[in-house]
């Protein structure tokens, strides 16, 4: 493997699925401005996800429309012909 091409700042990060409030913790080097207190009492960086394996139709077997922040309404308002 080539040296010095991989990030060295891996740390524990909490990922939260906003559609069903499922959270999990894993190592990552992604930057975040938000933090959250985890079950062990320590604070970790927080990354918010729109969809994860607990809400994705492939893994759940159910079709589910995820409309975060009214994206469909924003699209319709933007491109609505008057």
Domain ranges (residues) in the chain: 11-78
The per-residue pLDDT for range 9-25, each reduced to its tens digit, is 899 999 998 888 889 99
Q: Is 76 left (phi over 0), alpha (psi -120 to 50) or beta?
A: alpha
Alpha-carbon distance of 65 to 4, in angstroms, equals: 42
Work out the pLDDT band at 41, boundaries 50, 70, 90: very high
Taking the whole predicted model, whether its pTM rises above 0.95 is answered as no
The per-residue pLDDT for range 45-75, each reduced to its tens digit, is 999 988 777 776 665 667 655 555 667 777 7
């Amino acid at each position: 493997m080539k040296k010095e091409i991989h990030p060295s700042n891996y740390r524990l990060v909490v990922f939260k699925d906003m559609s069903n409030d499922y959270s999990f913790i894993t190592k990552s080097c992604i930057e975040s401005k938000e933090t959250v207190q985890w079950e062990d009492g320590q604070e970790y960086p927080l990354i918010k996800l729109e969809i994860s394996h607990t809400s994705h139709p492939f893994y759940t077997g159910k079709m589910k429309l995820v409309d975060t922040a009214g994206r469909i309404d924003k699209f319709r308002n933007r491109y609505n012909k008057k």
